């Protein structure tokens, strides 16, 4: 079953994944030496410096990786070099020069600052980005934001010493003081869209982007070069994740700079990312992710009420349209660990064959039994799964997730006309494929884990979705293909109370076994057939670019240009509505 839910908005958002799916399933395309060599030849012709610099940078990467103290810098530099090699050939002259200048800097320079030196510099950075954040919607920071992005890029690779970093921070502070007011036309454009919510419109297709670029604040970021400059598409929606709490137990607000989740010496607050996207005419989508140690019952008990209030207020105060995600992969660990009287008991502890074991013993046995489909059978709907919380006809895990959504919306209240809400299930919901392949959570395959049990009632979520990671079903019919990943979700949604709710495909990308040369066929199948033919109820698609769908090959670029950029199904402006009005 693929055609069930009433079409409310066939919107495609080219985006980075909002989910917490296994990295093994999101590692992107493979690249062979011949393919890389072909790309490099084109770069060498355009920028002769690259031929000498690339081997030097490769040697530098090996040196950094060999030292535990600098290993992280080495890993990031390796990723940066690969991106330059794969995308440099098609970049503008300005972008390519900036990339080769970075490689030049990577061959030498000062040692990065010590931990003590870094701490003092981070304090200066926090003040700087907080000041930028406060004035972002009234001051023209275009030049400053470009300097900022170069600053984050170079410091993330350990290319600058403490004196250079201090100098750059001072230069940005000077630019902040001298920045002019925002242009009148842009200010009027922002005011014209205030207090309006992104609308669901029948048969309307949006194309946007989110490319894991939360630390990049200017249009100079790579995704803009790939999609808008290179392929001529528009990208009016962009997404980002916000992990609610760090491992140290401290909450991470939208306005928190240098979050440990970024893994970088310097990282701007997500509130500034949100505002810069608004200034570019985009709708930000912010997914609030719960950390592994936080449960649905914690949400119900009000443990993040104050957090929700202040962060939703931060969003509402911009008055710009924003999508807010509430707890992605809701059908996986969040639900599976929300059983029992306390709401922290794994569902498998109620398996009669495991109930007398310790949790550690039961977890090991659960893995064995799950791999044999033991929990997909209706026989696994044990009475105790529904007898410890609320409605005795609904399994406790899904019911607690449902009530967590309802609680958050109650805490938020009414009066925020610019915000729409969504949540997403994990990939392969209801499919038995994860039982046959490593790297995927098997939650969603259990008899208790049906979408109907999660229904929170009208007015709680504006969209419901699923993480969509899978290979091309036409070339990989027996593998972990996209149809296998999402089909059961659509079956359940179309036959449940969700049937009139707009649908999102989130983190859309090929599976890890995909290679760059195979992406063209994948793009053709997904955008020409699956989205608006087999699954016409899809309302948004968040495509993982460039980590999942790399667009490295000419064939992939051509397919994307044909089936997305120039496809009439995807060429629409954003539509908005005022609260209570269509």
Report all structural domains of the chain as residue ranges with CATH numbers, in order of start.
12-28+190-333+397-538+551-578 (3.20.20.80), 33-178 (no CATH)
Residue 139: CB partners within 8 Å, gap ≥ 6? 179, 180, 181, 182
- By CB neighbour count within 10 A (0-12 exposed, 13-18 middle, 19+ buried), where does 270 fall? buried
Q: What is the pLDDT of residue 438?
A: 64
- Indicate the pairing of strand 576-578 with strand 196-198: antiparallel
| Residue where the block lists tokens 């959570």 | 441
Contacts of residues 563-567 at CB distance under 8 Å and 24 or more positions apart, as own/partner, are 563/523, 563/524, 563/527, 563/528, 564/12, 564/14, 564/207, 564/231, 564/233, 564/523, 564/527, 565/231, 565/232, 565/233, 567/527, 567/528
Q: Walk along the chain (582 residues) and give the pLDDT tens digit of each residue.
A: 333 333 333 444 444 333 333 333 334 455 678 888 899 999 999 999 999 999 999 999 999 999 998 999 999 999 999 999 999 999 999 999 999 999 999 998 788 999 999 999 999 999 999 999 999 999 999 999 999 999 999 999 999 999 999 999 999 999 999 999 999 988 888 888 889 999 887 777 677 777 789 999 999 999 999 999 999 998 888 999 999 998 888 999 999 999 988 899 999 999 999 999 999 999 999 999 999 999 999 999 999 999 999 999 999 999 999 999 999 999 999 999 999 999 999 999 999 999 899 999 999 998 888 877 888 888 889 999 999 999 999 999 999 999 999 999 999 998 899 999 999 999 999 888 877 766 676 667 899 999 999 999 999 999 999 999 999 999 989 888 999 999 999 999 999 999 999 998 888 889 864 477 789 999 999 999 998 889 888 888 888 888 889 999 999 999 999 999 998 888 778 888 876 544
Segment (H or E) for 297: helix 296-300
User: Could you give the dihedral angle defined by the CA atoms of residues 78, 81, 87 and 91, in that order, rounded to the nearest 10 degrees?
Assistant: 150
């Amino acid at each position: 079953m693929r055609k069930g839910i009433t079409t409310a908005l066939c919107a495609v958002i080219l985006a980075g994944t909002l989910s917490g799916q296994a990295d093994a399933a999101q590692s992107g395309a493979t690249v062979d030496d011949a393919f890389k060599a072909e790309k490099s030849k084109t770069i060498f012709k355009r920028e002769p410096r690259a031929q000498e610099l690339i081997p030097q940078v490769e040697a530098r990467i090996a040196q950094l990786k060999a030292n535990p103290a600098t290993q992280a810098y080495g890993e990031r530099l390796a990723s940066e070099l690969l991106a330059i090699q794969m995308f440099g050939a098609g970049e503008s002259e300005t972008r390519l020069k900036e990339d080769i200048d970075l490689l030049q800097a990577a061959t030498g320079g000062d040692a990065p600052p010590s931990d003590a030196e870094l701490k003092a510099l981070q304090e200066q950075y926090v003040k700087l980005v907080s000041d930028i954040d406060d004035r972002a919607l009234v001051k023209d920071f275009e030049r400053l934001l470009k300097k900022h992005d170069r600053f984050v890029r170079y410091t993330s690779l350990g290319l600058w010493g403490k004196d250079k970093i201090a100098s750059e921070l001072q230069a940005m502070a000077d630019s902040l003081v001298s920045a002019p007011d925002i242009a009148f036309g842009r200010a009027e454009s922002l005011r014209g869209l205030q207090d309006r919510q992104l609308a669901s419109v029948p048969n309307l297709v949006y194309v946007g982007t989110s490319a894991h670029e939360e630390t990049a604040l200017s249009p100079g970021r790579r995704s803009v070069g790939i999609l808008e400059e290179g392929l001529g598409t528009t990208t009016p929606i962009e997404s980002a994740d916000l992990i609610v709490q760090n491992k140290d137990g401290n909450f991470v607000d939208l306005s928190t700079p240098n979050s440990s989740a970024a893994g970088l010496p310097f990282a701007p607050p997500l509130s500034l990312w949100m505002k810069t996207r608004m200034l570019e005419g985009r709708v930000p989508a912010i997914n609030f992710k719960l950390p592994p140690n936080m449960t649905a019952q914690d949400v119900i008990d009000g443990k993040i009420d104050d957090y929700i209030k202040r962060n939703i207020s931060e969003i509402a105060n911009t008055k710009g349209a924003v999508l807010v995600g509430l707890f992605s992969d809701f059908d996986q660990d969040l639900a599976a660990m929300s059983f029992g009287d306390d709401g922290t008991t794994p569902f498998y502890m109620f398996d009669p064959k495991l109930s007398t074991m310790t949790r550690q013993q039961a977890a090991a046995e659960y893995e064995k039994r799950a791999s044999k489909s033991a929990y997909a059978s209706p026989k696994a709907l044990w009475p105790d799964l529904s007898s410890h919380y609320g409605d005795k006809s609904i399994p406790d895990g899904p019911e607690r997730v449902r009530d967590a959504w309802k609680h958050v919306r109650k805490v938020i209240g009414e009066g925020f006309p610019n915000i729409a809400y969504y949540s997403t299930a994990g990939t392969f919901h209801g499919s038995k494929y994860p039982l046959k392949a490593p790297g995927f959570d098997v939650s969603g395959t259990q008899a208790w884990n049906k979408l109907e049990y999660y229904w929170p009632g009208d007015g709680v979520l504006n969209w419901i979705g699923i993480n969509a990671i899978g290979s091309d079903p036409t070339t990989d019919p027996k593998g972990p293909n996209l149809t296998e990943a999402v089909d059961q979700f659509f079956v359940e949604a179309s036959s449940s109370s969700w049937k009139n709710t707009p649908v999102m495909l989130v983190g859309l990308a090929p599976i890890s076994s995909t290679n760059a040369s195979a992406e063209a066929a994948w793009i053709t199948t997904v955008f020409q057939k699956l989205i608006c033919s087999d699954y016409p109820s899809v309302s948004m698609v968040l495509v993982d670019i460039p980590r999942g769908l790399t667009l490295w090959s000419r064939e992939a670029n051509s397919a994307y240009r044909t089936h997305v950029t120039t496809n009439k199904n995807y060429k629409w402006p954003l539509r908005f509505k005022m609260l209570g009005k269509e």
